[in-house]
Amino acid sequence: MRTDIVVQDVASFRIDPALLARPHRRLALITSPVNLDRLRRRNRSDVFAHIVVPERFDTDGLTEAVTTIRDALAPSERDDIRLLCHDEYSLGTVAQVRARLGIPGDLPHNVQPFVDKLAMKAALRDAGVRLPRHVAWDAEAHRADPQAHLDHIVNQVGLPAFVKPTNESGSVGTRRIDTRADLAQWATERLGDDAPGGWEIDEFVTGTLYHLDSLVQDGRILHVGVNENLYPCYDYIAGKLSCSFTLPEDDPAYEPLLAFNRRVLDALPDKPARGVFHHEVFRQPDGELVFLEIAARAPAALIPFTSEIRYGVNVEEALFRLQRGEQLNVPTRRGPYAAYVYFPKPGGRVVDRTAVDLGSDHRWTWNVEVGELTTAASDIRDFAASVLLWNDDIEELRKDLYRLDKHQPLTTAA
């Protein structure tokens, strides 16, 4: 019997993990204490035959965790193991563990462009896609000659600029830089920063943000879900909604986005042959498409469920099925248009919660309690309430999104 080991440090299950149970497969889990607690509160820990909580999610820590699970198996089953990963923060480490232990699956060279944003842009340099102007943060160059290094950044990228870690997601650590003085201050802060990973400074791109979620099976694109964001992800930190909705096929942006997405995927020949790719693209006011980034994982928030409502395929479940070697059919269903909304947490003590009437079918979920003391959201994972909504009429769905955009669900006191 094969043993499939799911690895998740930061990412948690959005699907019911019981959907992964198979009579001919054993499931195991390597996870963090926080995610194990979530699993137990959902009464789903019994889905897994083995659960290991490592002290560290580095290569040595995960190697030890996998070895612990493998050693508990019958000798005849110890060589039939696969590692499944939907956690962007663990994707590269899991690939290193596969290489170290000889486990089949994606190896470091397959995932490198998806776990390092500078490597990602380098891989696409000759792909004929518009990339943001960008440079790598070079601490040594800045120490040697701060003014020359600032000149280099401004000349290459321009102002305003956008700084971000090369190995994060969900707008964690990002900042808009408007002036040279802002850039100098940020650079000084970086000199005292001992956080792992590097930084990049990008051109600040404006326009409408889209995400395209592709299912790839044996190198062939089976399906692409095209979605429009109400706001760019970075605006969430400033108090805007995190929100996207499935785009109608007759929207003028739809076909150009599909062609752009294929060009990006075709330019990454060593990408995982089976999986889900979450691709973010800006469409500027003049219609030009600008690459933002692409991840080799399913999208976060409630996007797996908007995909399921509209296309009949939950992209998180599809990712696990593809990594396990299971065959998927090309989705043909077209259900209602679907959207999700995350409200960012404000700071203060929650004294009241209010929902808003919507014309669309919807599911409202609270993530805070009255009386709870909250701090302002620092990333998209930190939300006060979520709404999943769907409607056969795209215009009615949009109207409800505008209602939600004007609504403040929490009343707080200092």
Terminal alpha carbon distance of the chain:
57
Nearest residue to 167 via CA among 96, 112, 92, 117: 117
Judged by DSSP in three states, 366 sits in strand
The residues, ordered by sequence, that sit 6+ positions from 246 with a Cβ below 8 Å of its Cβ are 225, 226, 227, 306, 307, 309, 310, 311, 337, 338, 339
Question: Quick one: pLDDT at residue 194?
Answer: 56
Judged by DSSP in three states, 82 sits in strand
Q: What angle do CA 300, 306, 310 make, to 5 degrees?
A: 145
If the chain, 414 residues long, is cut into consecutive pieces of 10 residues, what is the mean pLDDT of each piece?
Answer: 96 95 95 96 96 96 97 94 95 97 96 93 93 94 93 95 81 85 92 73 95 97 97 89 97 97 96 97 96 96 97 97 94 92 94 96 96 87 94 98 96 88
Tokens representing 58 are: 């580095």
Question: Quick one: pLDDT at residue 196?
Answer: 58
CA-based radius of gyration for the chain: 22
The residues, ordered by sequence, that sit 6+ positions from 60 with a Cβ below 8 Å of its Cβ are none
d(CA 55, CA 49): 20
What domains are there in the chain, each with its CATH number? 2-105 (3.40.50.20), 134-203 (3.30.1490.20), 208-413 (3.30.470.20)
**Could you tell me the CA-to-CA distances from 222 to 261, 276, 280, 413 in Å, in that order?**
13, 10, 19, 50
Question: Quick one: pLDDT at residue 92?
Answer: 95
d(CA 57, CA 7): 9
Residue with tokens 């290991």: 52
State how far Cα 245 lies from the chain centre.
16
Question: Quick one: pLDDT at residue 380?
Answer: 81
**Could you tell me the CA-to-CA distances from 199 to 114, 149, 185, 347 in Å, in that order?**
15, 14, 15, 28
Angle between the 303-311 and 315-323 helix axes, to the nearest 10 degrees? 90
Nearest residue to 11 via CA among 319, 219, 409: 319
d(CA 7, CA 358): 38
- Statement: the pTM of the whole predicted model exceeds 0.85: yes
Q: Residue type for 370, please?
A: V
The residues, ordered by sequence, that sit 6+ positions from 335 with a Cβ below 8 Å of its Cβ are 309, 310, 311, 312, 390
Q: What is the DSSP letter of 240?
A: P
d(CA 175, CA 178): 10
Question: Quick one: pLDDT at residue 20?
Answer: 96
d(CA 389, CA 387): 6
Question: Quick one: pLDDT at residue 170?
Answer: 58
Question: Quick one: pLDDT at residue 357?
Answer: 93
| Contact between residue 124 and residue 264 where contact means Cβ atoms under 8 Å apart | yes
Question: Quick one: pLDDT at residue 331?
Answer: 86
DSSP string, 83-108: EEE--HHHHHHHHHHHHHHT-SS--H
Name the strands in the sheet holding 373-374, side by side, starting at the edge strand that comes first in the sequence.
Answer: 373-374, 348-353, 410-413
d(CA 328, CA 394): 28
